[in-house]
C-alpha cells in the first residue's frame, strides 16, 4: 500500500499502522462529517522541516469550528507536537501529513450536537502529485461542468470531507476527458479554484488571483502572494472570468500537493507559449527555495522535525 508507514497517531497515541481502524458505524464515514488537513515535510540542510505547520493546525481547528464540532480534545500545540513526533517515529523525511478530525460517537441524527470527536494523523512518503514533466510543461485543464460550492451551501473555508465530493466529481470528469485537472466556476459563473488548488493568471506582468470568498484559503496561495509582492510584482485579488483565463499570458495553480504548476492548455486553447511561462517559472523556483529552507526571509514558515536535537547541539 503506497500510504503505508510503521505508525499512525490515533486518539492521542502512536499505534501500529495495522491497528488504526474505525468502526463501520462511524457517522463521519456515512455523512462526510470529518475535517482534515494536507501538510508536507521537505528536506532542508538542517534535516526535514514541515512547511507552515502552525497555519495548517489552525486551519484544522477552524474547519472543525465551521462544521460545528469545535472543542477538539487536543490543543493545537499537542497536535503540532504529534505531527512532528509521528514523522520522527516513522523515520520519514519528505512526506505528506494527514490529520483528520472525525465524529467518534453520535452524529446519526444529522447533527453535530452531543457528538464525541477525535483525531487521527497519518504520514506517508511523498511522490510527485502531477508528475515530474508538469513542472516544465504544465498540465492540461478543462472547465468542469460542476460548479464550485456556494459558500452558504458547503462552507468553502472549511476543509470538510464531504465538500470533496464536488472535487471528486469534477476531477473524475476531467481525467475521463483526457485532461489533468479541472477548473471550477463559482455559482455565478466566475472562476473559483481547482479541485485541490487555487488559481492565478498573469497578464501584462500583473499577477491576478480570485478573491477569498468562495475558495479554500490556500497557504500555497498566500505564500505565492507574499513572495510575488516581495519580489516587486503587482498582485491583485479580483473576480476572474473564464475568458480572462483564455487570453492570459500565463495561468498557474497552487496547492500543498501540486505546489506551483502552469496550465499549458485550458478547454483546448493554448495558454501563452503552451509551456511554463517566465513568471510561473520564477515563482516555482522561489517556492522551492522557501520550502527547502534556502531563503532566510521565510525561515519562520519552517518547523524542523529534529528541532529539539538542533537546540541541544547548539547548547554544547
Catalytic residue among 21, 91, 159, 231: 159
Closest residue to ligand PMP: CB criterion: 218
Known active-site residue 159: yes
Residue number with CB closer to ligand PMP (98 or 294): 98
Q: d(Cα 295, Cα 303) in Å, to the nearest integer? A: 14
Q: d(Cα 31, Cα 18) in Å, to the nearest integer? A: 25
Q: Which of 169, 162, 140, 173 is nearest to 253 (CA)?
A: 140
State the DSSP code for 230: H
Residue number with CB closer to ligand PMP (112 or 256): 256
Q: How many CA atoms lie within 13 A of 284 on its CB side?
A: 18
- Nearest approach, Cβ of 63 to ligand PMP (angstroms)? 11
Residue 169 neighbours by CB under 8 Å, 6+ apart: 144, 146
Cell 529539539 locates to 308
Residues in contact with ligand PMP by the rule CB under 6 A: 38, 193, 196-198, 216, 218-221, 254-256
Which set of grid coordinates corresponds to residue 146? 460542476
Residue number with CB closer to ligand PMP (255 or 272): 255
- Nearest approach, Cβ of 108 to ligand PMP (angstroms)? 27
- Is the CA virtual torsion 253, 209, 235, 230 positive or negative? negative
- Nearest approach, Cβ of 223 to ligand PMP (angstroms)? 8
- Nearest approach, Cβ of 199 to ligand PMP (angstroms)? 9
Give, in order, the Cα–Cα distances in Å from 64 to each of 59, 113, 114, 148: 8, 13, 14, 21
Residue number with CB closer to ligand PMP (60 or 216): 216
Cell 475535517 locates to 35
**198 in Cβ contact with 220 (< 8 Å):** yes
- Nearest approach, Cβ of 219 to ligand PMP (angstroms)? 4
Q: Which residues are catalytic?
A: 159
Amino acid at each position: 500500500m503506497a500510504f503505508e508507514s510503521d505508525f499512525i497517531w490515533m486518539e492521542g497515541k502512536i499505534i501500529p499502522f495495522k491497528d488504526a481502524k474505525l468502526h463501520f458505524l462511524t457517522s463521519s464515514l456515512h455523512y462526510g462529517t470529518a475535517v482534515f488537513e494536507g501538510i508536507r515535510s521537505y528536506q532542508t540542510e538542517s534535516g526535514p522541516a514541515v512547511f507552515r505547520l502552525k497555519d495548517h493546525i489552525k486551519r484544522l481547528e477552524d474547519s472543525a469550528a465551521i462544521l460545528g464540532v469545535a472543542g477538539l480534545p487536543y490543543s493545537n500545540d499537542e497536535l503540532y507536537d504529534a505531527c512532528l513526533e509521528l514523522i520522527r517515529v516513522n523515520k520519514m523525511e519528505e512526506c505528506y501529513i494527514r490529520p483528520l478530525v472525525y465524529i467518534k460517537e453520535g452524529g446519526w441524527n444529522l447533527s453535530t450536537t452531543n457528538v464525541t470527536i477525535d483525531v487521527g494523523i497519518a504520514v506517508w512518503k511523498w511522490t510527485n502529485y502531477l508528475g515530474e514533466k508538469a513542472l516544465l510543461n504544465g498540465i492540461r485543464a478543462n472547465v468542469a461542468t460542476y460548479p464550485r460550492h456556494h459558500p452558504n451551501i458547503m462552507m468553502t473555508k472549511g476543509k470538510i470531507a464531504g465538500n470533496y465530493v464536488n472535487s471528486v466529481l469534477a476531477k473524475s470528469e476531467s481525467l475521463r476527458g483526457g485532461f489533468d485537472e479541472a477548473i471550477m466556476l463559482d455559482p455565478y459563473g466566475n472562476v473559483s479554484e481547482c479541485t485541490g488548488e487555487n488559481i492565478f493568471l498573469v497578464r501584462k506582468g500583473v499577477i491576478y488571483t480570485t478573491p477569498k470568498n468562495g475558495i479554500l484559503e490556500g497557504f500555497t496561495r498566500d505564500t505565492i502572494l507574499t513572495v510575488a509582492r516581495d519580489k516587486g510584482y503587482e498582485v491583485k485579488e479580483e473576480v476572474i472570468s473564464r475568458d480572462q483565463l483564455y487570453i492570459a499570458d500565463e495561468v498557474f495553480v497552487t496547492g500543498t500537493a501540486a505546489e506551483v504548476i502552469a496550465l499549458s492548455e485550458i478547454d483546448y486553447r493554448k495558454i501563452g507559449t503552451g509551456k511554463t511561462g517566465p513568471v510561473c517559472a520564477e515563482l516555482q523556483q522561489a517556492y522551492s527555495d522557501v520550502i527547502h529552507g534556502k531563503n532566510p526571509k521565510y525561515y519562520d514558515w519552517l518547523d524542523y522535525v529534529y528541532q529539539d536535537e538542533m537546540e541541544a547541539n547548539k547548547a554544547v
